Amino acid sequence: IFTLDHLVNVRVLRSKRFLESRAPKLTENVKTAMIMKGGNTSQTVTQALKDIYSLKKPNAVLYKKKNITRPFEDSTSLEFFSKKSDCSLFLFGSHNKKRPNNLIFGRLFDFHVLDMIELGIEKYVSLSEIKTSKCPEGTKPMLVFAGEAFDVDNDLKRLKSLLLDFFRGPTVPAVRLAGLEHILHFTALDGKIYMRSYRCLLKKSGCRTPRIELEEIGPSFDFVMRRTHLASDDLYKLAHRQPKALKPKKKKNISHDAFGTKFGRVHMQKQDLSKLQTRKMKGLRKRKGGVDSTEDESGDQKTTGNHK
């Protein structure tokens, strides 16, 4: 099997399946995140990393040891880790005097860094501090982004896409209505980004759609955006390229107009109009005597108006 760098002689079917799951595919696997610590970390940062890991389980790996690297300067060790563990998202936490309580969210394309955004934690309340019952592990969260800044500022736009990528979980065709419990709410206001995590309770309302009550569960962060390293436009575009096979097949001869009416086109073969089956007009039939049929025609014309 030809893996990323070299040919591997595979002897066992299990290893073949493992390599095939890591190879580039049409529809990709869920993105996994690697969560790691830098040279020096504070209590806040380690706790924050653990909390985000629990949000992201099971599609995440939490590394215990410290890694003395600086992602913004040299991302080779990140790329190496991503290759080994097949992770395309990462979260790097560090703490120093210049940048206290620092978290770097990032994603990779083809095992090279695509985007990296550094967020500083200003206020943090951990999972354990908020004493309520939590959502089960692995629930697909609902994500809400609030604040026009997410649309206006380029950096925040990328941050929105990055956070969506990070927290969204597997893409499912259907979702159990009772299981929609977890909500992650991001607000961009006043130069800061507030992240809150709630558990939603579906209460009875008069109609089918329930009324929502929220209860704060999870970690709550007040972030401030620090440095960013965003991918260049063409690399970004390249990363978005979808294989042709995934594009939905266009059905030919079907069109929709502005009102949503569906129109179809039917192609007919050429018809012999002389042999066309119309309504019986007895009067027009050829008689043996060859009688002039004009009187009958006028009689027939009366009837034609009513029908149809």
- Cα 55 from Cα 69, distance rounded (Å): 25
> Between residues 129 and 295, which has the closer beta carbon with respect to another protein?
129
* CA angle 4–242–252, rounded 5-degree value: 140
Residue among 236, 88, 76, 91 nearest 158 (CA): 236
Query: In the complex, what is the shortest distance from the CB of residue 276 to another protein, in angstroms, rounded to a whole number?
Result: 43
> Interhelix angle for 154-167 vs 43-56, to 10°?
60
In the complex with another protein, which residue's Cβ is closer, 175 or 254? Answer: 175
Dist CA 120 CA 251 (whole Å): 50
Tokens representing 46? 């380690």
Q: State which residue, 41 or 104, has the beta carbon closest to another protein.
A: 104
- Chain centroid to Cα 3, Å, comes to 27
* Closest separation in Å from C-beta 179 to another protein: 8
Q: Which is nearer to another protein, 206 or 305 (CB)?
A: 206
Residue 49 Cβ, how far from another protein at the closest point, in Å? 22
d(CA 236, CA 141): 26
Q: How far is the CB of 303 from another protein (least distance, A)?
A: 44
Residue closer to another protein by CB (options 151, 297) is: 151
Least distance from C-beta 125 to another protein, angstroms?
9
CB-CB contact of 113 with 154 (8 Å) = no
> Please, which residue, 148 or 295, has the CB nearer to another protein?
148
Integer Cα distance of 240 and 243 in angstroms: 10
**197 touches 218 (CB < 8 A):** yes
Who contacts 188 (Cβ-Cβ below 8 Å, separation ≥6)?
145, 146, 147, 149, 150, 153, 156, 194
> Cβ closer to another protein: 50 or 192?
192
Task: In angstroms, give the least distance from the CB of 99 to another protein.
Answer: 17
Torsion angle of alpha carbons 246, 247, 250, 256, nearest 10°? 130
Distance of closest approach, residue 26 Cβ to another protein, in angstroms: 7
Closer CB to another protein, 41 or 106, in the complex: 106
* CB 189, min distance to another protein, A: 6
Write the CA distances from 11 to 2, 7, 8, 25, 84, integer angstroms. 14, 13, 9, 22, 21
